[in-house]
Chains A and B, each alone.
Chain A
Amino acid sequence: MSTLTLAKALNEGMRKAMEDDPKVLIMGEDVGKLGGVFRVTDGLQKDFGEQRVIDTPLAESGIIGTAIGLALRGYRPVCEIQFDGFVFPAADQIITQLAKMPLRSLGKVRLPVVVRIPCGGGIGAVEHHSESPEAYFTHTSGLRVVACSNPADAYTMIQQAIRCDDPVVFFEPKRRYWEKAEVDTSAEPAGWPPFDQAQVVRQGTDLTVLAYGPMVKTCLEAAAAAEEDGRSLEVVDLRSLNPLDVARVTESVRKTGRCIVVHEAPVYNGFGAEVAARVTETCFYNLEAPVLRVGGPSTPYPPSRLEDHYLPDLDRVLDAVDRAFAF
């Protein structure tokens, strides 16, 4: 066991993946000498060299497009998109090529490319640095979309994403990069939960809270507060958004009879809409209340002086819990 920040856990996970497989490459803007603007790739270029940790020109489409070419040559590139709001120049390559080329080849081509995206707000940043674009990618068949919420998962999930033969969009909760936890770096990968599996991170009996990425911690805090009011909330960290672990979600909601889904992204057409629809289909006769969604307003991300109002917090989660119980 070692105590690692989430950023360091990702770093250690990538280091392990690079040691295990010489075909694993890191590429992106400032990922080499600087170690990334969040230092997630710190020290990797020093130890693995410029051929494997590539400081790229400043063009996101170029990063993903050349990563596809490297994957066609047998490499396993791990691309860093510097900030969530900068992924859009690469969206064309991700959606029209990365997601669809394996099908285009009738399975003869595999593209084991990981697209790492620091996501979400809460760091007082300027425009385009605080967004949650996951729904654009969960809507794109051919991609796997995952989100880690804590250092232990960051360490294992990044390695599982790199080992996966499908392209993976990997969301990292940037405001949690500096939070520390115990990480068991010696556990055998065979014992890790599959990275497309949801995890119950707090047991409860009265209401299921579904969350992922940065909102998991907020929801755990809300569950602790709710307990003082005599409400037992079960918190499920979805971890994988495509595919969604419908079985685990269903199991939890059938037990509790109430469900809210929480994310930072705008509610309207957000990923929570898919979750709510699925839960309604699988748990209709068990539900005591409609599945409620908690998320950002359906507006662009606001200037940072307003972000505390925009981002769901403990009180917003508890407000939804109250509404679910009042129904």
Chain B
Amino acid sequence: MTADAPHGAEAPPELVQLLTPEGERVEHPDYDIDLTPEEIRGLYRDLVLVRRVDLEAVALQRQGELGIWASLLGQEAAQIGSGRALAETDMAFPTYREHGVAWCRGVDPVNLLGLFRGVNHGGWDPAEHNFHLYTIVIGSQTLHAVGYAMGVQRDSAEAATIVYFGDGATSQGDVNESFIWASVFNAPVVFFCQNNQWAISEPLEKQSRIPLYRRASGFGFPGVRVDGNDVFACLAVTRKALADARSGQGPMLIEAFTYRMGAHTTSDDPTRYRVAGELEAWKLKDPIERVRAYMFKNQLADQEFFDAIDAEADDLGRDVRKRCLALPDPEPLAIFDHVYAEPHRLMDEERAQFAAYLEGFEG
């Protein structure tokens, strides 16, 4: 592939797809899904709302209200499809871009914004949502997920663990170690790789000579590539992988073939490393438009429904913005909180010293 060729815009043959970019339902011999109209409307709503939250977050960053934001634009189907495949008792380990999965797990979007605003480093309770904290070091969470899955095995529980990572992360030692651990311990874990074609400025061929899903065979478990912009396919494939994991069949790698339509983060400028035509080609595969087209064609919803979802999205955007702006800055002495679970005399000493120093400015 030359440097100018669009990355991944031509669909590879191995792709599991149930809904074409034009909104046509297609069959797949290994994966299928039977969704009620209500479920489909629910998925559409999820897709639209998470895109709206993402848009609001980008705007908040541009207005100086967030330090940075990592947009999920283009990856909504991969995240909603896999996120809605999870059972309540399943555990998810995200990167820092899984805003759609967080939505599925009931994490308030304002919590996510708080992290990027800098009021804390996360702060939600992973056990409450079965959604772990965002992990910023690339790939570290894959090992946490496998360890968690080993705990599930020891508890003899019927639960699966899913872990999210990107194409760049597949080069990390930790990700490869997590594949080995999951394989030899037959851990109930699903590796969900969103191959969005770009690791900041580096295209996939800087990470791999083979399609990523094929890496799994070298570690001794199955791998599959799914159309990451097809919410039906992502749901079907992830649901099957989770069920297999729960029933003791061990790990699986899912490569969700998708595209990062925005910048890596709001600090990034993709015009320096990729051609505009690439984005245009991928826009034709938009994860939301195909569901909308399918619903229209099959009369699963009328204009009133779409208008209502758009209005709900705008309300959500306004609400998220309002509550983000209302987030208070933490008190200075919060620096010393939660570093240790048990009393720690150095924390106590430095907290007291800092408090005394601050008091010196009062009055």
List residues of A whose CB falls within 8 A of some B CB.
51, 56-57, 59, 61-62, 64-75, 89, 92-93, 96-97, 100-110, 141-142, 144, 164-166, 196, 242-246
Contacts and interface: CB of A to CB of B under 8 A. Distances in A.
Contact of B133 (A57, A101, A196): A101
A93 B151 contact: no
B95 to A, nearest CB: 14
5 contacts: A65-B178, A69-B144, A104-B121, A107-B337, A141-B339
A71 B127 CA distance: 12
Contact of A92 (B123, B137, B346): B137
A5 B25 CA distance: 70
Contacts of A89: 173
Nearest to A105: B133
Interface in B145-196: 145-152, 154-155, 173-174, 177-178, 180-181, 184
A165 B147 CA distance: 18
A69 B150 contact: yes
B342 interface: yes
A125 to B, nearest CB: 25
Given A66-B143, A97-B144, A109-B126, A73 B155 contact: yes
B147 A67 contact: yes
A70 B345 contact: no
Contacts of B338: 102-103, 105-107
Contacts of B337: 106-107
Contacts of B127: 108
A275 to B, nearest CB: 13
B122 interface: yes
A103 B127 CA distance: 15
A87 to B, nearest CB: 15
B249 interface: no
A69 B174 contact: no
B41 interface: no
Most A C-beta atoms less than 10 A away, residue of B147, B149, B349: B147
Contacts of B180: 57, 59, 62
A68 B144 contact: yes
A164 to B, nearest CB: 6
Contact of A61 (B143, B148, B152): B143
Interface string B334-345: 000111111011
A61 B154 contact: no
A97 B184 CA distance: 24
5 nearest CB pairs, A to B: A69-B147, A65-B143, A73-B151, A66-B147, A62-B177
B20 interface: no
A22 to B, nearest CB: 10
A73 B126 contact: no
B319 interface: no
Given A65-B177, A110-B341, A70 B140 contact: no
Given A61-B174, A102-B340, A96 B133 contact: no
B154 A103 contact: no
B140 A74 contact: no
Contacts of A74: 151
Given A71-B147, A104-B123, A196-B345, 15 more contacts: A57-B177, A59-B177, A61-B143, A65-B140, A66-B147, A66-B178, A69-B151, A70-B148, A75-B151, A89-B173, A107-B338, A144-B340, A164-B342, A166-B340, A243-B346
A65 B147 contact: yes
A73 B147 contact: yes
B120 interface: yes
Contact of A165 (B149, B154, B341): B341
A104 B177 contact: no
Contacts of B132: 72
Contacts of A244: 346
Most A C-beta atoms less than 10 A away, residue of B137, B142, B145, B338: B338
B24 interface: no
Interface string B38-70: 000000000000000000000000000000000
Nearest to A25: B154
A76 to B, nearest CB: 11
A234 to B, nearest CB: 22
Contacts of B202: none
A69 B340 contact: no
A18 to B, nearest CB: 14
A321 B38 CA distance: 82
Contact of B125 (A56, A66, A105, A166): A105
A93 B146 contact: no
Contacts of A69: 143-151
Contacts of B150: 66, 69-70, 73
